[in-house]
Each structure stands twice: as C-alpha cells, then as structure tokens.
Chain A
Amino acid sequence: MSDVSTEQVRSFLLDRFNETFTSMGISPGEVPDDFDLLAEGFIDSFGIVELISDVEERFGFEIDFEDLDPEDLTVIGPFSRFVAEFAFGRKR
C-alpha cells in the first residue's frame, strides 16, 4: 500500500464536493481546515456512509474511525489527517 498524505485526502474531499463549493462561491483553495461538511449542509447522515465508502474505495483500504473524535468526523482537516495517520499506522 502506498502512502496517503493528508493533502491527498483533503484534495479528494474538495474535489468530491467541488460543485457544492462552487455553487456557494467558495474556491476550493479557500476552504478552511475546520469546515464541517455536516454542519454546512454538504452531507446528511446517509452522506457520511457514502463518504466513508468513497474514501475507502479511492484509497483502497478500510478505515476504522473508532479513535476519531466524533466531533471531527465530518470536519475536513481532522478527517483528512485521521485518514492519513490511519494509513500510516496500518502500513507500519
């Protein structure tokens, strides 16, 4: 398995929600680390299931979110860091 960087996960998320960001007049480069996809109405509860499935498919491994703070699950920065760290831990 290759390394997954925080930036790669973040880019994947920004790309996935590109249309919604654009419709809100937000440029992907300006999306802050603490942008909460759930609170901002980008995804609903089922959207989280879909998002996890897409991320797992994109990076090619299953992710155990048990150790991620529930508050951070839908926040772009912490989510991206967690996935990258999980991949790193898994590789080791």
Chain B
Amino acid sequence: MGIKRALYSGFLESCEKFPGRPALDVENQVLSYGELKDRAVSLSLTLEKNALEEPYPLTALLANRSVTAHSGILAILFRGHGYVPLNAAFPVKRLKWILENTECASIIVDSEGEKVIDAILEGMDRSLLLVFPDRNDVSELSAKWKHHRILGARDLESVDQWQGPRAVEPDSIAYILYTSGSTGVPKGVMVSHRNVMALVSAMHKTWPITETDIIFRFSDLSWDASVADLFPAWAKGSLICCPPQKMLLDPSKFISDKKITFLQMTPSHAMLLNSMKCLKPNTFADLRWGILCGESLPMDIAATFSESAPNATVVNGYGITEMTVYSTSYFWDPVRSPGECRNGIVPIGQVLPGYKFLVTDEKLREVRKGEEGELLLGGPQASLGYWKDNAKTKESFIIPPGEKNIFYRSGDIVQKHQESGNLFFKCRKDQQVQIFGVRVELGEIEAALREVTGLTNVVALGWPQTQTGAGGIVAFLETNQIDLTSIRSRLSDLLPRQIIPRDIRTIPQMPLNVNGKIDRQALMPILERASK
C-alpha cells in the first residue's frame, strides 16, 4: 500500500506526526498542520470536481501572502498538478502571457489577486475555472464573466470525500517559474518533484531544522527562494511565518517578535536594513540560520549580519532557478572567513550533497586547476528544462565531453581555490545582472525599450554597480527627443517594477567598438562622471 513519495509527502507525514503543531502564521491567523491540510484538501477536491478541460496538469496560483496561497500550493500538488505562481505585482500583460503560455485552465485567487483578476480576464476567450476561497459571494464576478466557472468559499468541497493525494511520477512538474529571458520573452523553468525533494534532502543535511524552528517567508512565490522556505520546513513540522507585503521593507521587528529561527534574505536587503540601522548587534537573537542568497555577498555585510544574529550560522547560499534554488553554500566564520574572501566578496563555497560540478572553458573542457571558467552543475536538482522551448533546453542542459550525465550551463564564471576547494563567483559571461537577488537579462529590458520607443539602438546597463551586483538599471536611447513619462508608463505594462530603468538617458550616437557593434562598456564612464 502507499504511493511513491512526492513533494507533498513530507507535509503529510508532518500532519500525521504533529497534527496540532502550528504550520502557518499569516494574515493574523495561525493554522495547525491539521487545519492547513484540511484547507488544502478542500481546495484540491474543489479543483478536481469543477475543472474544465485542462491541456496540461498545471494550475495557476494568483496568490502570495495568504492562507489561500499556502493551502493553494498544497492543493495543487495534492491533485497531481504543478503550480504556476502569478505575482499580482507584475504587469498584467506578463501574467496574461504566462497563463496563455502554460495553458492553465484553473486559477486559485486570493484577496490580493482579486484586485487584478478583471484585467487578466479581459479578452480571455477560453473558459477557465476560477476559485476564490477568500470570497463568499462571487455572484457579481459570475455575472460579469459568464463563460468562466467561478467558485467562492461557499462552494468549497467537504474534506470527507478525500481519498488521498494523486500519485505522481518523480519527474512530474512540481512548479513552473518564469525567469528573465534575453530575447524579451520570459523562460518557464520546469522543476520536478524529484528536483525539489533532492533540494529538501540537501538542505536538511546542510542546514538542519526541526519542528521547533520558525521560518521567515521573505520571498514572493514567483521567486524560487520561497520553495526553500516552504518545503524543507513542512517536511520537518516547522512553522512558517509569512509577513504582509508592507512589512518586507523593514522586517526586523517582525523577525524579533515572531522569534524567527531561520531566514533567507538577499545581501542587498541586509544592506538596506543596515542603512536603516536595523542590523544592530544582537537584533536577531533567536536566529539559528541566516541564509544570505541570490547575489554576491560582501564581506562587511556578512560580518554585520553575523553580529546582529550572534546565535546563528550565517551562510552564503548560491543557486540558480534551473538547478532548483540552491547549488552551493559557504558557512561564514567571523575569524576564518575574512581571510578566505577575495576583493571583499565571500566565496560561494562548496556544492551541496549530491551535486556535481565542472569549471570549463568555452569548449566545455575542464580548465586547469585554479583557473577561471564557466560553472557547470549536475545532479538530482537539475531541472526538466524550459517549458515549450526544447531548443533553449538543449542549449543550456548539455552532456560535456567525457561525461555521461546532464549538466546545466550556469553562465556564471567562477574560480576554484585549490587549497580550500571553495568556489568564487567572478562575473557573468553574458548580459545578465543581479538586482536585489533577481537575475535579470539586460536583453529583456532592451527588447521592452525597443517595443515602446520604436528605436533600434537601445542599451540597458546594471547601474549603479554595487558589491552585490547592480542597484538598478539605467537605459540609453540613441535619439534626440523622448517622452519620458509615456515611455515609463508603457514600460510598466511590460516589465516588473524592479527592473524598469531608474534613469533613461538619450545619446545622439551610441559608441561603437572595432567590430562596429555598440560598445556597452564605453557608456559606463558617462554614468561614472554623472555620479561624481
């Protein structure tokens, strides 16, 4: 008896073991494992019973920091589907595009998601099932959107009929997350149950937690760090505390009040807290694990953060969505680590258990010991590739010469220190920058700039350059005249706010290199001069 282990298995085992323990603290309510399971089961049954024709086993989740968001993830997994998070803060055009690209025919919507649902449904011809667990009366919505099936809290199914979760194969999709694409089209990364279970196992070995730990859910569900908040915790019976959006800017009081013991945060955000003087010594006395992730970690931020959390192990976590959140880790040691840093940047350390890596030249041959090269990553966390994009998948997930297994080409240039074995992140080999932990293809921003301006010669640069990556984006347009307000407004229809250029400049002619191509580096001195 019993079905193959799947991503939901850890949560269900915790429900058996600790039905009364708190599982989720969100929206001023605390749900036990039993209660969260019941919510998820009810939602899962409702989806199953009412779903329209679904081309793929995928369900969209227009929810983020609510009970519905968390029970929704579990509900979707219970019905054997993968979840597709839709971030209501993203441009509606992008959300519509993701819905069309995944062909999801069922959507769970929380009260925050309700605010944009009308805009999303506008012009949507195919029929969808929409479930609003936070809303009792859906008559108005049903009257407005007649060709969609719309259900509210009163329509949710009773949990009594549940026969257990649907069996899934280990390679079934657990979620699809969209990342920045260099051509301007987002890439859907397909991550399987096997991938996330391998991540959970590696995290439990590397940063062990127990049922008494309290996890801070910093990341939005559209960013994969959220996966590392949720599943390792639920598999151990820990409590997840999810702050409201408005609390995220300065979550220090929330972290202290909730006695958080495990958190992941970007170094940029730690720097922001530091600039607000909210990273004082002993601020986070309860913290046991502080994972700084998503971008380069400056040594002084690691040291300051470590002093603010004296009882915590501070970790530099490095990873890529395509390799299921985390690939390497480095444990900060206040005494030893400063000597192991280079140019003030903390090493990304060693690969997680079960991982394989190669540092290679352009022909994918391993470089000599200690030389720089592209980091190739392999192992059970290597995702299924890109949704509906075999060509891109084949380009990025390759079998290097002399190897038998698939490796992912990270595009990150690294160097391995011979004695310590630590990996150091050096730079990107392409036009990707990291802004507050999010990997952004400059090509995506340039494609959006071309679309809204009709110009050909446009350049986006990560600026100002910071120790963690880039503070934001500055754009150059080869033109004499622009309507800045109009461009900004139209860009906000295409790009998430974080990557809309903070400064848009005009230039009569782009500088060219010897090959006649735009010399991006030659634009940097203009910005440097302007910042002085």
Q: Which residues of A contact B (CB under 8 A)?
A: 23-24, 38, 41, 44-50, 52-53, 62-66, 68, 70-71, 73-74
Contact = CB atoms under 8 A, between A and B. Distances in A.
Interface string B255-283: 00000000000001101100111101000
A48 B272 contact: yes
B279 to A, nearest CB: 10
B472 A46 contact: yes
Contacts of A41: 488, 492, 497, 500
Contact of A49 (B248, B252, B272, B435): B272
Interface string B330-367: 00000000000000000000000000000000000000
B502 A73 contact: no
Contacts of A47: 471-472, 502
Nearest to A46: B471
B484 interface: yes
A71 to B, nearest CB: 5
**Nearest 4 A-B pairs (CB), nearest first?**
A46-B471, A70-B250, A65-B276, A64-B277
Nearest to B463: A46
B142 interface: no
A70 B248 CA distance: 8
Interface of B: 246-253, 268-269, 271-272, 275-278, 280, 435-436, 464, 466, 471-472, 484-485, 488, 492, 497-498, 500, 502
B148 to A, nearest CB: 30
Contacts of B268: 45-46
Contacts of B277: 62-66
A66 B472 contact: no
B276 A73 contact: yes
A71 B243 CA distance: 13
A70 B466 contact: no
Given A45-B269, A53-B275, A62-B277, A70 B484 contact: no
5 contacts: A46-B268, A47-B472, A63-B277, A70-B248, A70-B251
Nearest to A19: B484
B270 to A, nearest CB: 11
A68 B133 CA distance: 34
Contacts of B250: 65, 68, 70, 73
A47 B268 CA distance: 12
A71 B251 CA distance: 10
Contact of A23 (B248, B249, B484): B484
Nearest to A43: B502
Give the interface centre of A38, A46, A63 by most chain B CB atoms within 10 Å: A46
Nearest to A64: B277
Given A45-B268, A66-B278, 8 more contacts: A23-B484, A41-B488, A46-B464, A48-B272, A64-B277, A71-B247, A73-B249, A74-B249
B278 A65 contact: yes
A24 B502 contact: no
A71 B246 CA distance: 6
B241 to A, nearest CB: 15
Contacts of B484: 23
A29 B369 CA distance: 63
